Each structure stands twice: as C-alpha cells, then as structure tokens.
C-alpha cells in the first residue's frame, strides 16, 4: 500500500518515528488511508478510524475492506474523541482540521490519555500550540511538509507541562531552532504578506501596531537585517 499524499506520508513518518505502543486512533479519518497504511506497514497492530460523518465513515469502510484489514482497522462513528472513550489507545492522530477545532476536540475529553499525539492543523496552529501549553501537553517534535502549494506543520506531543515563549507559539519550539529551508520559505512568504498589508494601513489603524509587532518577530527569527 502506498500513500499518494506528501502530507499523509509525512504524518505517517512522524508517527513511525515516535511510535509508542501498538494501538492508534485516527480522529477525522476521512478515507482511513492513514490507519490502513500504518497497519499495512506493521507500524501498529490495531487502529480505530473515527469520523463524525456517515459519508466519510462509509469511505473508510471501503478502504478497510479493499485492503482486507477488517480485523485490524475498526471504523467508529462519533464526534471527536467520543468513539474511543471505551477503547484505550497508545497514540491519537488528529490531522487535517483547524487548530481551534482540534483544541476543542482535545478539551472535550480530558479523561482520555494517550502516550503520543500527532497533530496537523491546517489553520491556527499557533492557537493549538497555546492550547497545548496551557493544558499540560509538551511538544516533543515538529516537522514540515510541502504538498502542492501548501506547507503543513506536524506536531508530536505528549502529556506534561511545558512553557512556550511567544516565538515558540507562533513559529514552533522545534521548527524555529532547526530553521529548515521549508521553514524559511514559509516565513519569508509570510513576511512579504505583512509588508504588503502594512503598505495599505495608516499608523493610527487599530491593527497597525499588532502587525508591526508580528512583522518584527518574523524578521528577528529569520535574522532579517534592518
């Protein structure tokens, strides 16, 4: 079995690198490609493919059947982490959603504990990092992948307290130290966007100071000369 998405491939590699235990729950599984691949490759023994909608779950069942993994990838219908309340997991993957929604999913069932969390937010990843810090999660690794025109960030976390700076929350505590070419590409692009926005604003605009501060943070992290 192959994953034809660079994003899903990077997520699978992050899970393989930090695999702890043999049972994973994939929340918002859509077509169940990720859990089927992980089981097919022997990275995990059992997976729960969870989705809130009937349509995606039906697609999941088709994928599971096509790879003859009915005994190892179990489709579960339900909202967020609710389907796995009675199904202990070593790892939880929540990928392809907004960071705010992902925070709400984690917050709805604080009683559910896993050894590792693989989180890939399409938007508001800074708000997700802030949530993790304020709710006793520790970011132990981060990676980036470019799929088409989009650059995605993947977080591996575990339970435990961590203090993050403003720069850590925005740029990622691991990513900003590594300064990969993809990191620089993303933030140089973002810096150009902030320059263009500032050109359209007067200094007395309510958002002007906030954007200037954000721009300066990016310049400092990228070591852009004055």
Give residue-wise pLDDT tens across range 45-72.
Answer: 999 999 999 998 999 999 999 999 999 9
Least Cα distance to 102 among 122, 87, 82, 78 occurs for 122
**How far apart are alpha carbons 114 and 60 in whole angstroms?**
23
Q: What are phi and psi of 117, to 5 degrees?
A: -125, 125
Q: Tokens 């992948």 sit at which residue?
A: 145
Q: How sure is the predictor about 157, in pLDDT bands with cuts at 50, 70 and 90? A: very high
Calculate mean pLDDT across residues 100-120. 97
Strand order, beta sheet including 91-98: 73-77, 46-51, 23-27, 91-98, 116-123, 150-159, 137-147
Q: How sure is the predictor about 30, in pLDDT bands with cuts at 50, 70 and 90? A: confident
**Predicted TM-score of the model (pTM):** 0.95
Give just the sign of the alpha carbon dihedral 146, 152, 158, 164. positive
The 10s digit of each residue's pLDDT in 85-96 is: 999 999 999 999
Q: What's the pLDDT score for residue 225?
A: 79
Q: What's the pLDDT score for residue 177?
A: 96
Query: What are the residues facing 91 on neighbouring strands?
Result: 24, 116
């Amino acid at each position: 079995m192959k994953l034809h998405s660079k994003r899903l491939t990077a997520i699978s590699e992050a899970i393989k690198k930090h695999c702890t235990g043999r049972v994973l729950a994939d929340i918002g599984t859509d077509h169940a490609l990720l859990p089927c691949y992980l089981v097919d490759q022997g990275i995990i023994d059992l997976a729960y493919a969870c989705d809130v909608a009937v349509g995606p779950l039906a697609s999941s069942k088709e994928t599971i059947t096509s790879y003859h993994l009915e005994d190892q990838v179990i489709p579960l219908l339900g909202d967020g982490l609710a389907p796995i309340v009675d199904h202990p997991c070593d790892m939880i993957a929540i990928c392809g959603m907004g960071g705010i929604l992902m925070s709400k999913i984690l917050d709805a069932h604080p009683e559910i504990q896993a050894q590792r969390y693989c989180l890939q937010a399409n938007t508001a990843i800074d708000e997700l990092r802030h949530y993790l810090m304020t709710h006793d999660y520790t970011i132990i690794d981060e990676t980036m992948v470019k799929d088409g025109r989009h650059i995605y960030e993947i977080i591996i976390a575990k339970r435990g307290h961590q203090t993050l700076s403003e720069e850590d929350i925005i740029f990622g505590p691991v990513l900003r130290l590594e300064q990969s070419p993809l990191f620089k590409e993303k933030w140089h692009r973002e810096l150009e966007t902030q320059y263009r926005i500032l050109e359209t604003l007067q200094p007395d605009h309510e958002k002007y100071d906030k954007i200037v501060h954000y721009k300066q943070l990016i310049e400092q992290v990228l070591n852009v000369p004055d």
